[in-house]
Amino acid sequence: MLAFAVNQTTAIFSLEDFLLADQRDATAWWNNQGRQEFTGSPYGRGFVSHYFLIMGMWSILLLVVALVLGVISYISLCYSDARESPEFLKLWWKVHRWVMAFAWLAFLAGTFCFLLTMHSALDIVAPRYTSFDIVNGTIAEPNSQDLLYGVTLWEARKVNTGIIAFIIILILFGTILHVVLVFYLHPDKKAPHETTEVDKKATEVDKKATEVDELLAALRQVLLSSTAV
């Protein structure tokens, strides 16, 4: 994801691409505002090139933070006694669970900014046709390139919003699943009578295994004695 964000922000468009996109963005905003003499900043976010680069840099920053924090936690786990000592693992987890949670949030925020940057890239390159009708050999009406979104961008915007909504739903589902596992299905969280029943069953299994081992040992001893005779 970080590689995609860096490539999308720094290597796709040239200066001429940004200038043409800003001019088209300004014309669309001017038409949308009724062609006033002064209309202010387009859509309250500046020109599309400014929004694209700023959101792209935020995406890179947040994804780098997530990567660095993940690497720090992994190195700390490898170069500590957490794998050999359960007590130290508990101590390690008390600290690094917050580091990992912050890294996860940074990754989600970076992904969200990446998707917004991707849609800005579509704003820069996509044509803004009001329809796909051909009039006198021309696609739609002559001024169709100067309108707000157009058919293509409007459909792409809905798909992009759907992707973001799908990610949010998956995050909520994962969070709910984690809460259920930790606070309801965890063995240590069960009622005392449930854990007692589990312990009794485990004890019975151990007793049966011990009896089987004793019988096998006695049989082995008998076989050895008969062989010696």
Query: Domain locations in the chain?
Result: 2-190, 191-229
Exposure string of 116-139, with b = 16+ CB inside 10 Å and e = fewer, is bbbbbbebbebebbbeeeeeeeee
Cβ 170 vs Cβ 104: under 8 Å: no
Q: Give the pLDDT of residue 193.
A: 46
Return the structure tokens found at 207.
């007793």
Tokens representing residue 194 in the block: 């449930």
Type of residue numbered 213 = D
pLDDT for the residue 205 = 60
Containing H/E element for 150?
A: helix 150-183
DSSP secondary structure letter of residue 136: T
pLDDT at position 176 = 85
Mean pLDDT by 10 residues, the chain (229 residues): 83 86 78 69 78 92 92 85 79 85 90 88 79 69 58 79 84 81 66 51 65 72 65
Residue type, 133: D
Q: What local confidence, expressed as pLDDT, does residue 195 receive? A: 47
Tokens of 44: 């309250």
- What pLDDT, on the 0 to 100 scale, is given for residue 106? 92
Predicted pLDDT at 57: 93
What pLDDT is recorded for position 65? 93
Name the strand (E) or helix (H) holding 155.
helix 150-183
Q: Work out the number of other CB atoms within 10 angstroms of the CB of residue 96.
A: 19
The reported pLDDT for the residue numbered 124 is 84
